[in-house]
Amino acid sequence: MKFFSFIYKIFLPFLLLLSITSSVLADDLSPAEDVFDISEILGDIESIETNSDTLEMPTINSRAYVVIDRKSNTILVGKNENQKKKMASTTKIMTALVIIENCDLSDTVEISKKAASTGGSRLGLKTGDKITVYDLLYGLMMRSGNDAAVSLAEHVAGSITNFAELMNKKALELGLSNTHFVTPHGLDEDEHYTTAYELAILSNYAMNNEIFAKIVGTKNYTITINGYPRTLTNTNELLGVLNGVYGIKTGFTNGANRCLVTCCKRGDMDIICVVLGADTKKYRTTDSIKLIEYSFSHFKYVNIQDIVAEYFKTWKEEFGQTFTITKGISNYLDITYENLPYSSIPVREDLVKKFQVYINYDPVLHAPVEKGTSIGTITLELDGNIVYSGNIFVNNKIEQKNILDYLTYFYKNFSEIFNTILQS
Among residues 62, 72, 144, 288, the one annotated as catalytic is 144
Distance CA 194, CA 84 (A): 5
Our answer to whether residue 71 is catalytic in this structure is no
Our answer to whether residue 89 is catalytic in this structure is yes
Among residues 89, 121, 151, 203, the one annotated as catalytic is 89
Among residues 71, 86, 92, 282, the one annotated as catalytic is 92
The pLDDT profile of the chain, 424 residues, written as one tens digit per residue, is 444 454 444 444 444 333 333 333 445 655 555 666 777 677 666 555 545 566 899 999 999 999 999 999 999 999 999 999 999 999 999 999 999 999 999 999 999 999 999 999 999 999 999 999 999 999 999 999 999 999 999 999 999 999 999 999 999 999 999 999 999 999 999 999 999 999 999 999 999 999 999 999 999 999 999 999 999 999 999 999 999 999 999 999 999 999 999 999 999 999 999 999 999 999 999 999 999 999 999 999 999 999 999 999 999 999 888 888 888 788 888 999 999 999 999 999 999 999 999 999 988 888 898 999 999 999 999 988 999 999 999 999 888 765 555 455 555 665 565 566 656 6
Distance CA 197, CA 154 (A): 29
- pLDDT of 276-334, one tens digit each? 999 999 999 999 999 999 999 999 999 999 999 999 999 999 988 888 888 878 888 89
* Domains contained in the chain, CATH given: 39-299 (3.40.710.10), 320-403 (2.60.410.10)
Distance CA 223, CA 227 (A): 9
- The per-residue pLDDT of the chain, averaged, comes to 88
Our answer to whether residue 144 is catalytic in this structure is yes
Q: Cα–Cα–Cα angle for 245, 43, 29, nearest 5°?
A: 60
